[in-house]
Amino acid sequence: MVQLTFYGGVNEIGGNKILLEDKDTRIFLDFGKSFTCGCDYFTGWLSPRRINGLGDYFHCGLLPKISGIYAEDQLKFTDLPYTEPSIDAIFLSHAHFDHIAHIEFVDPKIPVYLGEGTKLFVKSQEETSTFSDYGEHPYKTFRTGDKIQIGNIVVEPIHVDHSIPAAYGFLIHTSEGTLVYTGDLRLHGPRKDMTEEFIDRACDSDPIAMICEGTRMVEVERRKNYSEQQVKQHSDEVVSSTDKMVFFTHYSRDMDRFRSLYSVAKDNSRRIVVSTKTAYLLSKLVDDKRLDLPDPVKDDDILVYFKRKKSGDFEEKDYYLWERPFIDKIVTFEDIHKKQSEYVMDLGFYQFAELVDIKPDSGSHFIHSMSEPFSDEDIEDEVMHNWLKLFNLQFHQLHASGHMNRQQLGKLIRKVNPKKLFPIHTENPQLFKSLGYDVQIVECEHNYNI
Q: Name the segment binding Zn ion (CB under 5 A); options: 109-117, 182-190, 291-299, 386-394.
A: 182-190
Judged by CB under 5 A, the chain residues 118 through 147 that form the site for Zn ion are none
159 near Zn ion (CB under 5 A):
no
* Residue 240 C-beta: closest distance to Zn ion, Å: 32
* Residue 99 C-beta: closest distance to Zn ion, Å: 6
* Residue 402 C-beta: closest distance to Zn ion, Å: 6
Query: CA-to-CA distance for 85 and 68, rounded, in angstroms?
Result: 4
User: By C-beta, is 168 or 366 nearer to Zn ion?
Assistant: 168
Single residue of 161, 184, 346, 354 touching Zn ion by CB under 5 A = 184
Q: Which residues are bridge partners to 178 per DSSP?
A: 173
User: By C-beta, is 33 or 96 nearer to Zn ion?
Assistant: 96
User: By C-beta, is 371 or 449 nearer to Zn ion?
Assistant: 371
User: By C-beta, is 89 or 166 nearer to Zn ion?
Assistant: 166
Nearest to 196 by CA among 404, 29, 420: 404
Q: Name the segment binding Zn ion (CB under 5 A); options: 60-68, 176-184, 187-195, 232-240.
A: 176-184
User: By C-beta, is 156 or 184 nearer to Zn ion?
Assistant: 184
* Residue 400 C-beta: closest distance to Zn ion, Å: 14
How many Cβ atoms are within 10 Å of 292's Cβ, its own excluded? 10
* Residue 232 C-beta: closest distance to Zn ion, Å: 21
* Residue 80 C-beta: closest distance to Zn ion, Å: 29
* Residue 9 C-beta: closest distance to Zn ion, Å: 11
Query: CA-to-CA distance for 57 and 96, rounded, in angstroms?
Result: 21
Q: Indicate if the alpha-carbon torsion angle 308, 314, 318, 323 is positive or negative.
A: positive
| DSSP label of 340 | G
Q: What angle do CA 239, 303, 280 make, to 5 degrees?
A: 120
Query: CA-to-CA distance for 18 and 445, rounded, in angstroms?
Result: 9
User: By C-beta, is 94 or 406 nearer to Zn ion?
Assistant: 94
* Residue 406 C-beta: closest distance to Zn ion, Å: 18
**Residue 57: how many CA atoms within 13 Å on its side-chain side?**
22
β strands within 401-443, DSSP E:
420-424
φ, ψ of residue 9 to 5 degrees: the values are 80, 10
* Residue 409 C-beta: closest distance to Zn ion, Å: 15
User: By C-beta, is 101 or 413 nearer to Zn ion?
Assistant: 101
DSSP 166-180: SEEEEEEEETTEEEE
DSSP 119-135: HHHHHHHHHH-TT----
Q: Name the segment binding Zn ion (CB under 5 A); options: 137-145, 184-192, 241-249, 292-300.
A: 184-192
Q: Name the segment binding Zn ion (CB under 5 A); options: 111-119, 181-189, 239-247, 349-357.
A: 181-189
User: Residue 368: which H helix or E strand, with range?
Assistant: strand 365-369
Cβ contact 255:164 at 8 Å: yes
User: By C-beta, is 16 or 235 nearer to Zn ion?
Assistant: 16
Q: Name the segment binding Zn ion (CB under 5 A); options: 69-77, 111-119, 180-188, 382-390.
A: 180-188
Cβ contact 370:384 at 8 Å: no
Kindly state the number of chain residues that form the binding site for Zn ion, as judged by CB under 5 A: 2
Amino acid occupying residue 66: I
Q: Name the segment binding Zn ion (CB under 5 A); options: 68-76, 118-126, 183-191, 355-363.
A: 183-191
* Residue 417 C-beta: closest distance to Zn ion, Å: 24
- Binding mask of the shown chain, residues 87 to 106, with x at each position contacting Zn ion by CB under 5 A: ---------x----------
User: By C-beta, is 91 or 352 nearer to Zn ion?
Assistant: 91
Nearest to 291 by CA among 254, 333, 320, 244: 254
User: By C-beta, is 98 or 354 nearer to Zn ion?
Assistant: 98
* Residue 115 C-beta: closest distance to Zn ion, Å: 13
Torsion of CA 305, 356, 376, 164, to 10 degrees: 0
User: By C-beta, is 85 or 189 nearer to Zn ion?
Assistant: 189
Could you tell me which residues come within 8 angstroms of residue 28 by beta carbon, excluding any fewer than 6 positions away?
17, 18, 19, 20, 69, 87, 89, 90, 91
Question: Binding residues for Zn ion, per CB under 5 A?
Answer: 96, 184
